Structure 1
Amino acid sequence: MADSVFSSLPGAVLPESVDDRPDVVRVPFHYGDPIREQRALEGGRAVVDESDLGIVSLAGDDRLQLLHSLTSQDLARLAPGASAETLVLDPHGRVEYAARVLDDGETTWLILDPGYAAPLAAWLDRMRFMLRVEVTDRTSEYAVVASTRVIDDLPVAAPSGVRLDWHDPWAAVVAGGWQYAVSDHPGAQRTWIESIVERDRLPEVVALVDAGVVAASGSLAAEALRIAAWRPRQIAEADERTIPHELDWLRTAVHLEKGCYRGQETVAKVHNLGHPPRRVVMLHLDGSDAVLPPHGAVVTAERDGVEREVGHVTSSAIHHDLGPVALAVIKRAVPSELVLSIRADDTVVAAAQQTIVPQGAGATADVARLPRLGR
C-alpha cells in the first residue's frame, strides 16, 4: 500500500488501512485540525488530496456513443469541457459503477471511487465490440486534486488543450433528471471541482502548499462538506442492492427520457409506478458521548417497545456548523418523524432524521387504479 506524497506535509495523519486493498493509495485524513481545514476548504483556500481515486480514459470517435448506450446518463453530445455523472447498472437496476464524466474533445475521462477503475475499464473494453474506442485504466498515470474553486496554479492536465476540471453537477437537477428531495436542497450551495493532474506532478501541488499558495485539507474535511450537501458516493452510500432512487441519484446521474440501457426498466418502473424499498436520510446525532458511528453501524427504531434494525450508517462526520452528522440508508416505511438510535461500539447514539428521499418517492405516473372486485 503506497502513501500519497501529501503524507510528507507537516501534521499529516493517514488511515491505518484502506479496506485491506494494497493497490489503493493512502491519503491524509487531516493535518492536525479537521475543523479549521474544513472552513479553509469551504472558503476556497485549500485543496484535498484525492490521489486514491481511479481514472479511466476512452479514446476514439465512438467513445461517447459507447457510454451513452451502456449507462444511465445522456452522453451522446457531451461538449468538450462539460461535466456529467453517470451510472452503470446491472440488469435489475442496481448500481455497479458511479462515474464522474469529463470530455476534452478527443478523450473521455472517468473518475471513480477507489478500487473501481480496473474492473470498469475491463468491462467497457469487453462491451465495445466493433466500436472505435480504446479503453485504458490511467490510475497509475493520473491523480485527482479537489477544491471548491478553480485554482489556476494547479498543474491541471490538458492533453487536448482543455483543462481536466470536473465540476460536480450536484448543485442543480440536470436535464432529464428528477429530485425527490425537498425544494430547499443544501446541495444547491455545493461547489466541488476534481482536477486531474499527472501523478508525477503531485509534488508540485505539495510545493504550492509548502509555499503558502494554498492550504491542504484532509479527507475528513471533504467528507463533512459532502454529507452536509446530501451528496451520495458509491464507496460509502451504495451496496450490492442500491438502486438510484434510494440515494436521490436521479438528480444528476440518470436521464429519464433517454433510450434503452441496462437497468432502465427498473429505473422507469420504480420512478413511475412503485417506490424504492429504502431511502437515504440525513441524521443529526446526539454528541453528548462524543461518539461518531462508523460506516455500517446499525440503525434501529423502537416499535411496540422493541428496538428493531431499520438500516445502517453510510457516512459520518463532524461538521463545523451542524455538529455531528451522518447519512444513513433505512427502510422506506420508517416514519420520518421517528427518532432513531445508532449502535456504535458499546454506546447508543440518538439521531434525529432529516428527510432527503421521502417515504412517497416514486409512483410519479398518473395511472388510474382499477376498482377492487366486489365493490
Structure 2
Amino acid sequence: MQKSPLRAVHESAGARLRPEEAGGQVITYGDVPAEYAAGTQEGALLLDVTTRGLLTVMGKDARDFLHRILANDIKGLTSGQGNRNLLLTGKGKIVSMFDLCCLGQGFLLSTPPGQAGPLRDALDMYLFTEDVTLADETEAHAPIEIVGPGAAEIIESVLPDFDPTSDTPHTFQFVPFHLDDSDDSDAAAMTKVTPMLVAGRSGFRLETEPEHVAELWRVLQEFGATPGGLVAYDSLRAESVAGEFGRDITDDVYPQEARLEDAFSLTKGCYIGQEVVAKIDTYGGLNKRLFRLRVSHDDPVAPGTRILRSIDGESRDLGVVTTWAYSFEADGGVVLGYLKRKHQEPGTEFLLGETGATAVLQD
C-alpha cells in the first residue's frame, strides 16, 4: 500500500496516526467529538483517503467488456457519470467493490487501498482479443473526502467553478483549483469532484495530483472543513450501517447481505454472478445480513467476536462482529455484524462471545 502524500502534514499538525505498516491512516486530529459534529451538525469533516487505488480501463472495447463482466450498468453511462460497482464470482459473491467513472470510451475505477492491482489481475483473466488496456494509476492521483452539512458550500468557496446543483451521486465534474503556492498567478490543478456516499452519508470525493493535495487540504480547512480520522469516520458509518470493504465486506458475502443494492443491476442482463443475484432478489433466501447492534458497555469489541443467543437453554451462534465504533448518536458502543435470518427482529438481545457484554439489535 502506498504512503499518503499528506502524512507529513498530519504529523506536523499533531494528528494521531496508525503505523505505516498498518496503513498509516489518521486516527484523530485530537478532538473526536468536534470531528464527528463537523460531519453531522455544522461544517464538514475532511478525510484523507489518498491511499485509495486507481485502475484505468481504456480502449474501444472497454465499455462492452466491463458491461458484460461487472454487476452494475455500464452501457447506460455517458461521460461524466458513474456508479458504485462490483466484480462478483460466478457464485455471486464479492471479489471487488469500487467506484466507477465514465470518460467517454475510457473508465476510472477507484478501489479501496491496495486493491487496484488485484482488480486489474482479476479483470485481465476475462480479456482475450478485446481492445482493452488495464493500468494501475494509483500513484497518479490523491483523493480526499468531505462530508457534512457545509461540505458543498466549502467546496464552492475553494473551487468557484464547482456547480453545487449537480449533486447526483457519482456524476462528476472537473474544475480548476487555483494554486496559492505557485509563482504563476494563473496556475491551477484540475480537480475531479464527485458527489457520493462518504461513511454512509451524502458527501464528496475530491481528486487531484499528489503534488497539489496538501495545498487543497490546507485551503479546505481555511474555509471551514475540520480534519478528522478513523474514529469519527467509523462512528458515522456504523450509525449508517455502511460496510467497508476488507472489514465488513469480504469474499464470502453476497451483495444483498452487505446492503449493496445500489452497486448491482437487476435489469442490465447477464454478468458474472448475475443469476445468483437475481435469484436472491426473486426468491429471497439470504442466510445473513449486516446490522447495527447497541452494546451494553463502551469497551471495544474485536472483529470476529461471535454473536450468540440463548434459545431454549442452548447457546446458539447466530453471527459475527465485523466493526466496533463509539456512536455519538447512541452515546455508547455499537457494532456492525452479520446476523442469520429469523433472528433479525429489532430489539432482540444477543451475547457477544466471551466478552460478557450484551448487544441489542437496532432498527
Partner secondary structure for residue 330 of structure 1: strand
Correspondences of 1:1-375 after superposition (within 5 Å) = 2=3, 4-16=7-19, 25-42=23-40, 43-105=42-104, 107-148=106-147, 149-150=151-152, 151-152=155-156, 153=158, 158=174, 163-168=191-196, 190-208=201-219, 211=222, 213-250=224-261, 252-287=262-297, 290-323=298-331, 324-336=333-345, 337-343=347-353, 347-355=355-363
Equivalent-residue separation in structure 2 for 1:110 and 1:154 (angstroms): 24
Shift of 1:72: 0.8
Give the Cα–Cα distance (whole angstroms) in 2 for the partners of residues 138 and 316 of structure 1.
33
Report the AA paired with residue 320 of structure 2.
Answer: H
TM-score if structure 2 supplies the norm length? 0.81
What secondary structure, in the 3-state scheme, does the structure 1 residue paired with 2:208 have? strand
Deviation, 1:167, is 2.4
Distance 2:192 2:256 in 1: 29
Residue-by-residue CA offset, 1:197-233 (whole Å, 9 max, x unaligned): 2122222134326756532111222222122222222
Partner amino acid, structure 1, of 2:32: P
Q: CA deviation at 1:248?
A: 2.0
* Residue 281 of structure 1, CA deviation: 1.1
> How many aligned positions are there?
328
CA distance in 2, matches of 1:310, 1:159: 49
2:165 equivalent in structure 1: none
Conservation of the 8 A alpha-carbon contact between 2:221 and 2:227 = no
Q: 1:17 to 1:327 in 2, by over 3 A?
A: farther
User: 5+ residue gaps in structure 1?
Assistant: 20-24, 172-186, 356-375
* Cα 1:332–1:44 shift into 2, 3 Å: same
In structure 2, give the amino acid aligned to 1:216.
P
**Per-residue deviation, 1:255:** 0.8
CA contact (8 A) 1:81 1:164 kept: no
Inter-partner Cα distance in structure 2 for 1:62 and 1:9 = 47
Q: Deviations over 1:296-333 (max 9, x none)?
A: 22211112223332211112212222232221112223
Q: Is the 8 A contact 1:102 1:108 kept in 2?
A: yes
Q: Deviations over 1:86-136 (max 9, x none)?
A: 111001111000111122336321111122111101222343333332211
Instruction: Report the 3-state secondary structure (helix = DSSP H, G, I; strand = E; otherwise coil) of the residue aligned with 2:214.
Output: helix
Deviations 1:244-300 (A, max 9, x none): 1212212x111111111111111111221241111111111223xx20213222211
Q: CA RMSD in A?
A: 2.9
CA distance in 2, matches of 1:146, 1:317: 20
C-alpha distance in 2 between matches for 1:108 and 1:215:
32
Distance 1:195 1:31 in 2: 20
More moved, 39-48 vs 49-58: 39-48
Q: Partners of 1:106 and 1:247 in 2: how far apart?
A: 31
**1:360 equivalent in structure 2:** none
CA spacing shift, 1:170–1:203, aligned 2, 3 Å: closer
Residues 49, 145 of structure 2: 8 Å contact kept: yes
8 Å Cα contact 1:314/1:326 also seen in 2 = yes
The TM-score with structure 1 as length reference comes to: 0.78
Q: Which amino acid aligns with 1:96?
A: V
Contact 2:344-2:361 within 8 A present in 1 as well: no
Return the alpha-carbon distance in structure 2 between the equivalents of residues 206 and 244 of structure 1. 34
Equivalent residues of 1:83, 1:168 under 8 A apart: no
Q: Is the 8 A contact 2:174 2:191 kept in 1?
A: yes
